[in-house]
Chain A
Amino acid sequence: MPQELILSRDAYLLTIDLRLFWLVAFIYAASALVFILHAVTRSPQAGSAARGIMWAGVVIHLFFIAFRTFEGGRAPFQTLYESLSWFACTASLTCVVVSRKFRDVHVPSMFVVMLSAGASFYALLTRNPAVDPLSPPLQSWWFEWHVVMAFLSYAVIVVSCAIEGTYLISRPLLARGAPRALGLTAQDTDGFRKTAFNLVLFGFPLLTFAVFSGAAWANEAWGRYWSWDPKETWSLITWTVFAMYLHAMGIPAWRKNVASILNVAGFICMMMTFLGVNWLAKLLGIPGLHLYAV
């Protein structure tokens, strides 16, 4: 095929790809707005509708990711544009699956869909959507596994934090005698919070694999399994905070407040690992080995 034809084909595919992602971002934003409407009006129909819109966004997002995989001939996790999309998709997917367990509680879904919409718009407005060839360090068996596992763990961490946050807000309201707070009743809270714990229990081995596979990959590519690079260190911080959370859940006196705070802190550390560390490194002028992902 002549080069001009290849370029125009790639541009055409990228145009479809770009518009699909914009569509997904707008759907997430619409879902977030309907969730806000539900929070204001407390209309159950609005909550269900918002959840339905979020489902639609996830389905189209999965199609977009499959399309981009076909377009690039590789897993679409190389650039920040791609990883933000993958982050938004996995977080929303996890949320819609998990939230089937508590159909009357919409705050966690509202939080997750807002985050997904934010990540999508941030990618679309500030990053270049071009499908670039893989740089040599990324051409590794570890690439797909490391990123997939890391982002799956991020997704469950996001949803777990959303649930934990909802629990933290609703608990004092229920303690003051409110029959229902944020869709939760006093009887629901333990089971609801158990979901947050189970999510971390699900995500922690994945996070462990992400840290371990990252070290194994670094050992193959850079000749050192650990360089105390800011991104590596923040991934270790995230892992450590969740290890603290899981241990705190085993100490009766810490099971409530301390563990809840650690779960939320773990989410903040995860966001630092994913995005914050790049800004921090740029701000402080710290060189990093992961700057291709900025």
Chain B
Amino acid sequence: MAGTNKKTGKAGVPAGASLYLYRKLSSLRVSVYLLGVLTFFYGLGTVFPQGAALEEYSGAGGKVVAAVRLFNLLDIFNTPWFLVPAFVLFLNVLVCTYDRFFTIRARKKTLPETFPADCAVTLDCARSDVEEELPGILRGKLGFRVLSKTPGWTVLEKGLSYRWLTWLYHAALAASFAGFILSGLFVREGMVTLRPGKPAEVVSAGEKLGWLEKEDHAAPDFRLVLDAFITAYTQSPSLEYPTDKRSRLAYALGWKGLSYKSEEDSFFPKDWFSKLRVLRGGATVSEKTIEVNDPLKFEGYTFYQAAYEQTLRLRVKGSPSIVEAKAGEKIKLPGMEGEFLFGTLRVGTLNRLDGTVEKIIPFTTVKKITDAKESAGKGMRLTPGNSVDIDGRTIELVDFEEASVLSYRYDPGVPVLWVAGSLVFIVMALRCFGRWYMLAYTLEDTGGRTLLKLHIRAKGLSADPERIKRRLLHCLSNRA
């Protein structure tokens, strides 16, 4: 690709048959068309539920099932229809960046010889005096640097070059694409359930793998162990507020006042904490208490607090066996009619409104579900070691176990993305909010006086060419 193209006269441009392709890929119009095509696919991806199974989709009354199946619309972002234009856009950004590099580098050579004058000022002194003083004012007082000097016009520049900034954030955008591609190729992600004190390997049956990752890849040589799982609750009083619009207006007009009510069981989860250790060969090599927004990072893997599981061990009086039930799931109990639903086990700490923190005496709730309908109300409260009577039978909560569910991810694309993404934002902000000026001037002798012709170009939101003109004229009029 290197060398100067004879047809275009531009360095770095290919010749012959690839010129057409190169021109298309470095075209601004093509960028807009490609962005338009991708926008269409993005839109499709929000109309069809991504990741859903086709049966689930059609079962829920989904439309155009045949087209959904044919074009794989439930996984649109992994289809060639999307990936091909996305890759072409990546090429477009790359080629544009490559092309602009040579264009910008050659800019000094391509500056015009004359400029249209935006303003002309007659100075009451000899041209030689102005010629001597003007560069000093522009460089010393106004901070310009000389870009080119011809017998006619002198061209100066001030500020970070908007062209290079624009080039740089496009280059960073191309690097972000590279980050996405790395993610797509090498990602590994899954879920791991940790039970207190039981070390677990970091591998899961439903692991999602990048395009180049193999199903039988070796699991990492470390294991995770959960030392404790804690839920911190906060008291959450409920506001007594009407739902109908007219009553709400009554509050606005002052006819009614608001009030809060706090019920005994108003628990709002403040956070979930998992105290983790990383074991290698039986020794602890890392430990951390993770929470939502604060994961554990270890050797390229990141472990996130995703969910939790609560297993309740129950005994129905008269039945010899212990039954395990999951909180939040329906279950049939031995020797009893219908299904039962056990609520979330409340265990951990409670931050009260007055600032005190107390340890919760663990409890769950149980209610019977008849004819697939949940019975109204909150259900009966059940604490470990105690029992409740339902339909003449006694259900005892023997004990419980909490497990922490972590999602994990190994993604070599993330560091690339953070560096490139930060660069995109910072450089784009400098380009848009900053200021850049190009000032060209020429001097003409008008019989003992000097005519100064100025041409100013400005870019960036904080650029103010009028201010530059004012300052320059002020400096010239106040010169010694």
Write the residues of chain A forming the contact surface with B, with a CB cutoff of 8 angstroms.
Answer: 1-3, 6-8, 10-12, 14-15, 18-19, 22, 124-126, 128-130, 132-133, 135-137, 139-140, 198, 201-202, 204-205, 208-209, 212, 215-217, 219-225, 228, 230, 233-234, 236-237, 240-241, 243-244, 247-248, 250-251, 254, 277, 280-281, 284-287
Contacts and interface: CB of A to CB of B under 8 A. Distances in A.
Interface in B212-236: 234, 236
Interface in B399-442: 407-409, 414, 417-418, 421-422, 424-425, 428-429, 432-433
Interface of B: 28-29, 31-32, 35-36, 38-39, 42-43, 45-47, 49-50, 60, 77, 189, 234, 236-239, 241, 245, 248-249, 251-252, 254, 257-262, 268-272, 291-295, 302, 304, 306, 352-354, 407-409, 414, 417-418, 421-422, 424-425, 428-429, 432-433, 461
Contact of A251 (B29, B245, B408): B29
A16 B236 CA distance: 20
Nearest to B459: A201
State the majority secondary structure of interface residues on A: helix
A127 to B, nearest CB: 10
Contact of A240 (B38, B45, B241, B428): B38
Contacts, number: 168
A133 B268 contact: yes
Contacts of A135: 269
B279 to A, nearest CB: 22
Nearest to A245: B32
Contacts of B49: 284-287
A247 B42 contact: no
B418 A216 contact: yes
A128 to B, nearest CB: 6
Contacts of A236: 42
A256 to B, nearest CB: 15
Contacts of A247: 28, 31-32, 35
Contacts of A254: 29, 32
B408 A215 contact: no
Question: Which of A22, A135, A215, A228 has the most B CB atoms < 10 Å from its CB?
Answer: A228
B79 to A, nearest CB: 12
7 contacts: A19-B252, A129-B241, A136-B270, A136-B271, A205-B433, A237-B46, A254-B29
Contact of B28 (A12, A124, A250, A287): A250
A65 to B, nearest CB: 18
Contacts of A198: 461
Contacts of B260: 7-8, 10-11, 14, 130
A132 B270 CA distance: 11
Contacts of B38: 240
A209 B425 contact: yes
A202 B239 contact: no
Question: Which of B237, B260, B272 has the most A CB atoms < 10 Å from its CB?
Answer: B260
A280 B238 CA distance: 29
B32 A223 contact: no
Nearest to B413: A225
A7 B292 contact: no
A268 to B, nearest CB: 12
Contacts of B428: 204-205, 208
Contacts of B418: 216
A221 B239 contact: no
Contacts of B239: 11, 14, 128-130
Contact of A244 (B36, B241, B294): B36
Contacts of A228: 45, 50, 77
Given A209-B429, A240-B39, A280-B46, 18 more contacts: A3-B353, A10-B260, A12-B257, A15-B251, A19-B254, A129-B239, A130-B239, A136-B271, A215-B421, A216-B418, A224-B189, A233-B42, A234-B42, A243-B35, A244-B35, A250-B28, A286-B46, A286-B49
Contacts of B36: 244
Closest 5 CB pairs of A and B: A22-B252, A223-B304, A130-B239, A136-B292, A223-B407
Given A3-B262, A132-B236, A244-B36, A137 B292 contact: yes
Contacts of A136: 269-272, 291-293
Given A129-B241, A220-B294, A233-B45, A15 B258 contact: yes
A57 B50 CA distance: 42
A204 B425 CA distance: 10
A173 B47 CA distance: 39
Given A19-B254, A233-B46, A128 B241 contact: yes
Contact of A220 (B39, B249, B295): B295
A208 B425 contact: yes
A133 B32 contact: no
B234 A133 contact: yes
B262 A130 contact: no
B353 A18 contact: no
B32 A244 contact: yes
B46 A202 contact: no
Contacts of A216: 418, 421
B425 A212 contact: yes
A212 B258 CA distance: 40
Contacts of B291: 136
Nearest to B40: A237
A7 to B, nearest CB: 4
A151 to B, nearest CB: 17
A23 B423 CA distance: 43
A2 B258 contact: no
A7 B262 contact: yes
